[in-house]
A and B are shown apart, each in its own frame.
Chain A
Amino acid sequence: MLEVRNLSIAFKTRDGLKSAVRNIDFTIGPGEILGLVGESGSGKTITSLAVMGLLPPNAVVTSGEVLVDGTDMLQLGSGELRKLRGRHIAMIFQDPIASLDPIFTCGDQIIEAIRLHETVGKAQARQRAIELLDKVKIPDPERAMRAYPHELSGGQCQRIMIAMAVACKPHIIIADEPTTALDVTVQKQVLDLLRGLNEEVGAAILLITHDLGVIYEVADRVVVMYSGDKIEEATTADLFNNPKSGYAKALIDSMPTPGGQHDRLPVIERDALGNVFSVRPEPRVRSSNVAAAPDANASPLLEIRDLVKSYWIKPAPLAMPVEMRAVDRVSLSIAPRSTLGLVGESGCGKSTLSRAVMRLYRPDAGEILFKGQDIASLSEGEMRPFRREIAMVFQNPYGSLNPRKTVAELVEAPLVIFGEGTATVRRRRVAGLLEAVGLPATAAAKYPHEFSGGQRQRIAIARALALNPSLVICDEAVSALDVSVQAQVLNLLKDLQVEFDLTYLFISHDLSVVEHVSDTVAVMQKGRIVEYGSAKAIFANPKEAYTRMLLDAVPTIGSDRVGKGGA
């Protein structure tokens, strides 16, 4: 079927060839779903592009073969390759909206895909396209046919991409992170759809993802990759029950899983020989002698009452603007030194809520009581003392640090803004903060772009702590990070909470992460809090249908693998 033998790929750089992928072997049988899993930089995407013959111009295959039904794709001319693409092998990409041509309707693009490989009339192709859209369960296929990609949601665009991929009944479908850009409930639908098509059409699927949960739920066999090497290949059951390689074991361990009650996550480490293993680090010893534990009975540090923030949008060009409540009468409270996890899908209003608390926006109505004082309608000047007390860690470790400043300047910025200390005092404080977040002292003189994503997030955390705040808002603070790095940052946040007496408002779309860090949890949907209570209670026994749906949708290791044949 598809057989990749001894494949090695390198990038052309100024200093010669730089190896990207080394000696990869795997095969996919008919109807099989093979998962290719690895963190960023593991070479999984470049491998899939090589299979399609779509490598970027600066990449070269240094050895190996890619056999599709016995023919080596790498030896084919562009014309023969073209006949195989789309007809024999189809591909689904990570960003569905960007993968569709923005200036053609979705219908035209599906019709085009059909007519590329089959000689059928326009009307007939159109009929087929509508049937395909029906098959991928798009509501109102006729409307979707007429729509431009920007008029549809990400999930709908991914369905269009899938419809196009299965249009000519390919033998193999390569899906490169097909659900990474989608919400968890949409992800579930798309995965169900892929699995259903796999059974119905009988196409083999090469599923590339960083998400072990997705692999667990969908794949039959798994290939694990790490920095360009194949680390392990096993059936899904074997991999999760009995991982052979240290890396695969570490990767599985470092994922926060619902129900897994551990205070700290194991992290991946490498010893001097390059062997990868996982360790569960001990909590850092608290320097002060007071043992502070979250106290649910103490008066809340932050209390939000009936908070409202609206946007006015025009539903149609001529219509009157209507109110869209991004935050709709939200009430929450956070006890000192505890963590409130705020969870919801994209567009539910969780970011707007966090920015309202931060007073980056002025809320339309309601109260934000911080240590008992309402800050909801304070002026920027009156807000100033509170800015020392509330700090924020943002989602994007690449965007939240000014690229033109050194780490020392970034971390001391809050001190400078509040005119705190002399240069020497600030320098000492910066050194102390860098140590606290686990960065070397030499980092101070460097610029953000010299650091990895996880390290940058540490810098952002150090900056947030500069003025000894009591409340830290983490807005998707670990979402952009790889699983193993995410584990390190989550551990760090827990350590710092104890060390600095911090209270966290932790916002995330990832239920597993929220369960891991939170004492209390609020579930947000369409601007409202639909469920609110202790983390244990909500995850063990969700009361609301929406919460249950969210929990069900999370691909989880150890759950039942529904609808999966014994292939």
Chain B
Amino acid sequence: MNASVTGALLLVGRKLLTALIQLLVIATLIFSVMYIMPGDPVLLLLGADSNPSPEAVASMRSQLGLDQPVVSQYFVWLWRALRLDFGVSLANGYPVSRYVLSNLPRTLELAFAAIIVATLIGVPLGIAAALKRGSLRDTILTSVATIGISVPVYIMGTMLVLFFSLKLGWLPASGYTDISRNALEHFRKLALPALALGFGLAASIARMTRSSMLEILGRDFVRALRAKGMSERRVIWQHVLRNAAIPIVTIIGLQLGNLMGGTVLVEAMFNWPGLSTLLVGAVSARNYPLVQGAMLAIAALFIGINLLVELLYSLLDPRIRRKRT
């Protein structure tokens, strides 16, 4: 018992450490990418059109610490980033962290809603297809899933807008309302982006659920359970599904990359003021500190969710939870 508790703690610790190292490497990458990118942030900050004097440029440069050696810039930047200080936006001098902190929960909410939508649709459909392998139902469901993974999110989103907003007028086409101001409106505006984002994910979850169900159904122990006289329903619900849950959770985790990528497009098309919107705007305006802050926040979000998935995964699978002693 004691050994398994320390084992579990050790596992959590190791995963945490890996995540932190990953984050550090990504932070370094983000910093260096900014550094090799063309364009002078100082000129941008002062406004290149206003033709600033060399003295003004120099004083701004030292104010931003850009006259320091790269390595010390890097460590200063890293140290500040650790305290969530990403500097100020070049556009208006507001602290970047304020933007990041206000937009991060919105992206999280969107992604979370999409995962829920996708899981609620994808898992049952995948199970339904696997249980009747080769039937008409299976053929239809797998075809729909193949279509689902082929339609890009922005086309899905556009079609949803065409249908639900323009044709039926049921839901708003885009925008964001704060939940404290009008909760109903908030969720009405969340519906379409979450659906658009969740649809493709639902399709891949359905495909993966189906194939892992089929894989487990073919294992020896399923035959052994039937030989014990267990009802088919119990075999499926008690044993097959719980075994299949492990790869399904993995695929949901692996799909997070696509999901975060999808938020870029979905946020842009639905004017959802999340991290991606922030990032796309900052990239177009070459607002370096804002880009760095947003990138780092997205990476941290992604790594954090991945960590959660991995911990959930090892919770589900005793073979990982308890290494053979």
Contacts and interface: CB of A to CB of B under 8 A. Distances in A.
B325 A316 contact: yes
Interface string A84-107: 111100110101001111111100
Interface string B214-252: 000001110111111111100000010011001000000
A369 to B, nearest CB: 38
A474 B72 CA distance: 63
Contact of B221 (A78, A86, A90, A99): A99
Interface in A98-119: 98-105, 112-113, 116-117
B307 to A, nearest CB: 19
Contacts of A91: 224, 227
Nearest to B223: A54
A250 interface: no
B152 interface: no
Given A78-B232, A151-B324, A151-B325, A100 B224 contact: yes
Contact of B227 (A86, A95, A104, A150): A86
Q: For this complex, into which size category does the number of interface residues on chain B fall? A: 20 to 34
A148 B323 CA distance: 10
A437 interface: no
B220 A113 contact: no
A82 B235 CA distance: 12
A99 B228 contact: no
A150 B224 CA distance: 16
A337 B3 CA distance: 53
A95 B229 CA distance: 19
A340 interface: no
B242 A99 contact: no
B318 A103 contact: yes
A83 interface: yes
A121 interface: no
A419 interface: no
Given A82-B230, A91-B227, A102 B221 contact: yes
A260 to B, nearest CB: 36
A44 B317 CA distance: 35
B181 interface: no
A151 B318 CA distance: 10
A87 B229 CA distance: 8
Interface in A66-89: 78-79, 82-87
Q: For this complex, into which size category does the number of interface residues on chain A fall? A: 35 or more
Interface in A34-59: 52, 54
Contact of B239 (A98, A101, A116, A150): A101
B7 interface: yes
A489 interface: no
A501 B254 CA distance: 57
Contacts of B229: 82-87, 116-117
A103 B228 contact: no
A203 interface: no
Nearest to A168: B229
Contact of A54 (B6, B221, B227, B246): B227
A565 B50 CA distance: 108
Contacts of A164: 228
Contact of A85 (B3, B11, B228, B324): B228
Contacts of B3: 316-317
Contacts of B227: 52, 54, 85-86, 90-91, 93
Contacts of A86: 227-230
A275 to B, nearest CB: 36
Nearest to A314: B323
Contact of B220 (A78, A83, A99, A103): A99
Contacts of A54: 223, 226-227
Interface string A337-367: 0000000000000000000000000000000
Contacts of B316: 103
A116 B226 CA distance: 11
Contacts of B219: 98
B167 interface: no
Interface in A171-212: none
Contact of A99 (B224, B317, B322): B224
B20 interface: no
A95 B225 CA distance: 14
A317 B323 contact: yes
A100 B229 CA distance: 15
B12 to A, nearest CB: 12
A100 B221 contact: yes
Most buried by B among A102, A104, A317: A317
A385 interface: no
Contact of A317 (B6, B228, B231): B6
Most buried by A among B3, B220, B242, B317: B220
A78 B229 CA distance: 10
Contacts of B242: 103
Interface in A149-176: 150-151, 161, 164
A85 B319 contact: no
Interface in B1-60: 3, 6-7, 10-11
Nearest to A146: B1
Nearest to A78: B232
B224 A161 contact: yes
Interface of A: 52, 54, 78-79, 82-87, 90-91, 93, 95, 98-105, 112-113, 116-117, 148, 150-151, 161, 164, 315-318
20 contacts: A52-B227, A84-B229, A85-B228, A85-B229, A87-B229, A90-B227, A91-B227, A93-B220, A98-B221, A101-B239, A101-B243, A103-B246, A103-B316, A112-B230, A117-B229, A148-B319, A151-B325, A164-B228, A317-B11, A318-B6
Interface of B: 3, 6-7, 10-11, 219-221, 223-232, 239, 242-243, 246, 316-319, 322-325
A-B pairs, top 8 by smallest CB distance, nearest first, are A86-B229, A85-B229, A98-B220, A91-B227, A99-B224, A86-B228, A148-B318, A317-B7
